[in-house]
Amino acid sequence: MELNYHPLGDGAIVVTAGESISDETTALVRAIAEAITRAEIHGVSDVIQAYVTVTVCYDAEGGMTYRTMEKRLREILSDVRPAGKGEGRTVEIPVCYGGEFGPDLAFVADHNGLTEEEVIRIHSGTTYDVKMIGFAPGFPFLGGMDERIAAPRRPSPRLEIPARTVGIAGAQTGVYPIGTPGGWQLIGRTPVELFLPDQEIPSLLRPGDQVRFRPITTEEYKKMEVDRHAHH
């Protein structure tokens, strides 16, 4: 598909690479975002990668116009090709499933006619793709969850889901980097921070990464949490 350009107000331009989620579109979106970032265009502040679009924020007050911006992007992206597979990193996220950290693990199991152990095995036996980061700082939209552990959202959202909780909503799984209200089914928690405000790149995960979850015991969780605090 040919790339599409349109304005998002007076300070952003949206590049659309496709109409639906596919591996090819994901790879193309990633290549577009990387090419724009690499070009270091003066006055561009943000390059926001999503499922099928890349939104580029620029400083119109500094004199950059939409027309100039679109022209620049067309030049930069004239020969862009989908990024190759396997160029991203694989990040392992340890998860303590069930118990106080995953109060809805039993529900997810029951809902799918599985045991809790089977849910854990399926959830941690899959490799996920980070499609995009959004919604909250460091929050990954993950693709690739096994439909056998899909579960509907809770009828009424919890007022506060603790940071680092792993959840399932419909056919999606994700990790809440910060405490937030939400209706996801909670199946576990990781001792690892996903939002890293004191790092140059403030997110553990980036679009294009692959993610695997590794089950850990409560003891391991507590030890890793103590180690994390020792680092701060």
Partner 1 sequence: MLIIEKSGLQTSVQDLGRPGFQQYGVVAGGAMDPYSHRVANLLAGNSETCATIEAALAGPSIRFEMDSLIALAGGDLSPGIDGEPVPMWRPVAVKAGAVLTFGKPVSGCRVYIAVAGGIDVPEVMGSRSTYTKARIGGVEGRCLKKGDMLQAGKPSILAKHWAATALSKAGERQFCAADWSVSDELVPRYGNQAEIRMMKGPQHRWFDEESRSLFFSGTFTVSSESDRMGYRLKGDALRLSEPRELLSEGVVAGAVQVPSGGSPILLMADRQTTGGYPKIGQAASVDLPLVAQLQPGAQLRFKEVSVDEAQQLLIQRKKRLAELKLAVELKMKGV
Binding residues vs partner 1 (CB under 8 A): 6-12, 14, 20-21, 33, 45-55, 57, 60-61, 63, 65-66, 132-139, 141, 177-178, 180, 195, 197-198, 201-203, 206-207
Nearest approach in angstroms of CB 203 to partner 1 is 4
Nearest approach in angstroms of CB 222 to partner 1 is 23
DSSP for 180-202, written as a single string = EEE-PEEEEE-SS-SB-TTSSS-
Nearest approach in angstroms of CB 110 to partner 1 is 29
Nearest approach in angstroms of CB 183 to partner 1 is 15
Say how far apart CA 41 and CA 44 lie, in whole Å: 6
Nearest approach in angstroms of CB 172 to partner 1 is 11
Give the number of C-alpha atoms closer than 13 A to the C-alpha of residue 59, restricted to the C-beta side: 8
Backbone phi, psi, residue 220, to 5°: -60, -45
Angle at 221 (CA atoms; ends 220, 227), nearest 5 degrees = 90
| Cβ nearer to partner 1, comparing 84 with 197 | 197
Angle at 207 (CA atoms; ends 204, 208), nearest 5 degrees = 110
| Cβ nearer to partner 1, comparing 131 with 216 | 131
| Cβ nearer to partner 1, comparing 56 with 96 | 56
| Cβ nearer to partner 1, comparing 12 with 93 | 12
| Cβ nearer to partner 1, comparing 23 with 110 | 23
Place of tokens 């499933």: 97
Parallel, antiparallel, or unpaired: how do β-strands 158-161 and 90-97 relate? unpaired
